[in-house]
Each structure stands twice: as C-alpha cells, then as structure tokens.
Structure 1
C-alpha cells in the first residue's frame, strides 16, 4: 500500500440529506453512522439546512482536519461534497440514497445504500482509498466547480432551468410540465466547441460532457465514459425534432445515443470549451455555470473509499 493509498488520520465527517430520494432512506442514517463508527474512527454528522450550507459544512470539515468525508444522498448531495474533497488527500465515500445515484454507481459502489456503507467502512478499517478522475468546470470571473458524473448543456439543462423557475406544481410533476413546455419550444442552438484545440460549430439539441456514463438516474448519455482514463466523453445530439428526441430517450437509457439521426460522440478530450447563447449548464444535476465554460479532465482528482 503506497502513502497515497492510505487514509489520513482524523474523524469521519458525514453529510446526510434527509430529503434525498423523497426521504425513503431517512431511517437508515443511525445504522449508517453506527457502521462507520465501527471502522474505528470518530464520526461527526455535519449540520446543514440548505445545499449551500451543506457545501460550506463540507469545506469546513476538510479544512478542520477530517480524515474522510462520507455523503448520504443523491447526485446533488455528492456534488456538494465533491467541491470540498476534489484535489485533496481526504478520501470520499458516496452512499447512494437519492432519486439519482449515477456517480456512486458508475464509480463502482453498490446501488443499495446499506451495501455501499459496508464497502466504505471496510475501506476505512483497512486504510484503503483508490483514485478516480473528476472534471473541473471553469468560467472567467467565477470560481471553478467540480463534477463527478455528467455536465448537461442542452435540452436537459434547459428543462432543469425552467423547472427551477416554476413554483407550481410541486414534486416530480413540475419537471414533467417543464419537459412539455420546452418540447413545444424545441429548437437547435448554435454551439461553438473546442476539443483539445480543434474548433467546430454545430447546431444541436443535446450536449453532454461525461466523466462517467450516466445522468438523470441511469440515463447512459455518455456510455463510453471511463472515470479512470483521464479523458472527457462528449456527446452531441444534432437537429432533433420533438418526435426524434422522444424516440431517442429510451435509446439513451440503453446506452446507445449515437444510433439516433444526427447524434455524434466526439473524440475523447482532456480540455473542452463549450459556448452557446442563453444556456445555464447543470453538473451532476445541479445548477452550475452559464455558458461559455471550459471543462478540464483532472486525472486522479478524487480518492474513493473502496
């Protein structure tokens, strides 16, 4: 075991989102904390009422000497925690307990939260951590962001943005209504793409940049993405009409988006620049930076408790 593989001393900080997965795993938290404590480390539950407070609490825990950070929730919870541990020696354990658990599953953790905690606790007890890539998102004048799964910068990002502006209805129906509204307004956008210095302009409806394969709870938009190869996987869906887009969606869940007309997987890239008018990107399902942005693959930027 190398020095980089070892888990540093310090307590295990735990971020838990009680509303993740519509609260269906809320009752598991006491058992999760007990199992982590059984790995021989003090366990500290972080307090936060909002996503912003959760991210700040993770940063404070890492700065305060936490030996590891564990997040219990969905991809949004993981995204907030990643901002604190990316590029550090503090290892991370994702416990999938949300509606979408793409990052945890695509990096090799069991989809069942109890089984995932067993993996994490065993790694803590053995002092074992394994490196995985992340992607860094940059925009001039703004702080960098990290993401572990997929950056959406097309139709799905536009739907998310509309849903977040809506006050009615509540719950999943709001997202469904946002899809209906945006399908009625569907049109290709002009994108400027630069992959490792090679520029092109395309008209597209879907644009996704993957560190891992999936987003949206198992939609394999970037099926060839590998979080260990040091590359970004870029998928562009061209001039789809509404009927084509609805037909393509099931193909994406099966991991075959490029079989659709005008769909393309661009060559893997280390550095990717993406520009379009009026689009806010969504990283790991969370509202992120307005375009234009630069996405950089950062090998071994995260240490996972596996």
Structure 2
C-alpha cells in the first residue's frame, strides 16, 4: 500500500476534473492505496496542503487530476519539498500537453488512473525540468546570476515569452468555447494586434538577438492543446529547444504561426531552433518604439513573471509515474 496525495484542479476542463476526482480517489483506494485528498477550491490553499503532505513522513506519490496547471503546481511542490516523490497524472484539463507528450489517455479518467496504478508497481521515469530564476531589471548576460528576491520556480513543458505567451494569456481570459478552440480564438485576436515584442535571448552565452515574434524555451513538444512548437524537444536530453523568430511583418506571421499546429513552422527562414542548457530572456534595446514590451511570460500555461529571467535545465529532476 502506498500513501498517495491527490490534488484536483476543480476548474480544469470546465468541471471535467472535478467530476473525475472522486473516480480517481475511489479507484486508487480500490487498488489498496491510502489516499489523502489535498483538493481545495483555490490554488493558494491547494499549494499549502500539497506542501504539508509532501513535508510530512510517509508520502509515496502525488497524483494530479486536471491539465497542465495542476502539473505545474505539483512539479513545483515536489521539487521544493520532496524531490524523491513521483508524480502521477490523470488528464482532465483543456490543453493536456503534459499528458499528450507522456502518451496518457486524454479522455477517460478510469483508464488514466489504471495507468497510474500500474505505474506504481514499476520504477518511475526520470524527466528533466526547467528552473526559472528572476533577474534584476538591469540584468545582462554577464551579470545574470543576480537574484534579488530569490524567486525560483520550475516548469516541465514549455516556457513562452513571445506571441505564444500572449496567446496563452488571452486564452486564459476566455471562458468560451471550451477546449483547444479557445487558443484558436486567442490566436486570431493576437495576430490582429501584433506589432512585435522588444525582447532578446542569450543561449549558453551566445546572443541570439531579436526574438520579437516567437520565443519558446521548450523542454517538451507542444503547447495550447497540441500545437507542435518544438517537435524534436526531449525531456531526457539535458537541453532546451529554444525556438525563436525575429520580428516579422504581420502578414508573414499570418502565414507562419498557423504552421505551429503541425510543427512545420521550423522550416520558415525567420524561425530558428537552438539547443542550450541555460537561457537568459532579456529586454531588448528599446530603440524601436513601435515594438511592444515583452508579454507576461507563461510556463506550462501558467503566468510566471516578466523578463529578465534565467532558465536552466535540471536533468532527471522529476520522477513520473508513466
């Protein structure tokens, strides 16, 4: 018997996760496990209860029910308080990009929890994670170790800081329709207003320059419910795939960005991929007034702050029941 913490995001999937939570709990108990329900109506309380569970003796696993948001909560809790505890996931969210990349069932919670139960009998997989550290506003590549507030967070999938982040933020504010169609609507709205962002990237000490259109630091393949932003990214290679596109005219972006759904945007000459284990996201020179300030940065679909940021790969840091 294992002692398992269960955290459900009741808002995920427009209520689908809330309905799946009791099913998952019942199935885990039927398999002989001791289940501690950590679910609360709000994120702050859920973080606190999850942290308390992981800090107490006897925690054997943490299972999340929801989408990429509950994954981000669980990953940060585990790596902050109990890095040895493995993470299980039952997909019941909107985007489900973590579950999709892990090859998990995206629709049936009974199948999802059966996968977790079976995985509890085997050694977990080890996955790389990304570490996010806040830098000073005047940070440069040379003084990037500055951490004024000690803020450190982790992400598992993709961190976005270009139009991909702006689309993510707008999609989070849209209540209808449900599912990945929200991202399509958000994309159309952002494309209509696009003028480029004043941001640059330094990857393993190499200045990649202007990344005013697209900026994704990818530890895995997809965002936004299956958009293949970095189709060759791997959780086990110790590197990010840094996908960037310089500032381009809106008409060009209208042709390029829809190709993200199939991953064919990488063949466009404005788009480049650089592999790196440490990345700095920095404000641009600010000399081009028509460019917008960088958008709110998102990781695993969740807002994590604004540039400047330092990102590092932490190889094999997370144990996963998959």
Tell me whether the two structures share a fold, i.e. TM-score over 0.5.
yes
SS at match of 2:201: strand
Partner of 1:47: 39
Partner of 1:24: 16
Q: Are the aligned partners of 2:69 and 2:300 in contact in 1 as well (CA < 8 Å)?
A: yes
The CA deviation string for residues 15-42 of structure 1, in whole angstroms up to 9 with x for no partner, is: 1122211123543332211221233320
Within the alignment, does 1:89 sit opposite 2:84 as a pair? yes
Q: Are the aligned partners of 2:243 and 2:272 in contact in 1 as well (CA < 8 Å)?
A: yes
Partner of 1:78: 71
Q: Matched residue pairs, number?
A: 293
Q: Are the aligned partners of 1:280 and 1:287 in contact in 2 as well (CA < 8 Å)?
A: yes
What do you get for the CA RMSD once the two structures are aligned? 2.3
Partner Cα separation in structure 2 for residue 114 and residue 251 of structure 1: 34
Q: Are the aligned partners of 2:199 and 2:294 in contact in 1 as well (CA < 8 Å)?
A: no
Within the alignment, does 1:187 sit opposite 2:195 as a pair? yes
Q: Are the aligned partners of 2:200 and 2:212 in contact in 1 as well (CA < 8 Å)?
A: no
Q: Are the aligned partners of 1:209 and 1:232 in contact in 2 as well (CA < 8 Å)?
A: yes
Alignment of structure 1 residues 193-232 onto 2, 5 Å: 193-232=201-240
Unaligned runs of 5+ in 2: 135-146, 284-292
The CA deviation string for residues 208-238 of structure 1, in whole angstroms up to 9 with x for no partner, is: 0111000110011011100011111110122
Q: Are the aligned partners of 2:17 and 2:92 in contact in 1 as well (CA < 8 Å)?
A: yes
Partner of 1:6: none
Partner of 1:13: 5
Give the 4+ runs in structure 1 shifted more than 6 A: 173-177
Unaligned runs of 5+ in 1: 1-8
Residue of 27, 52, 55 corresponding to 1:63: 55
The CA deviation string for residues 37-59 of structure 1, in whole angstroms up to 9 with x for no partner, is: 23332001113222222222221
Within the alignment, does 1:135 sit opposite 2:130 as a pair? yes
Change beyond 3 A, Cα 1:161–1:19: closer
SS at match of 1:223: coil
Q: Are the aligned partners of 1:36 and 1:117 in contact in 2 as well (CA < 8 Å)?
A: yes
Partner of 2:244: 236
Provide the TM-score with structure 1 as the length reference.
0.87
SS at match of 2:131: strand
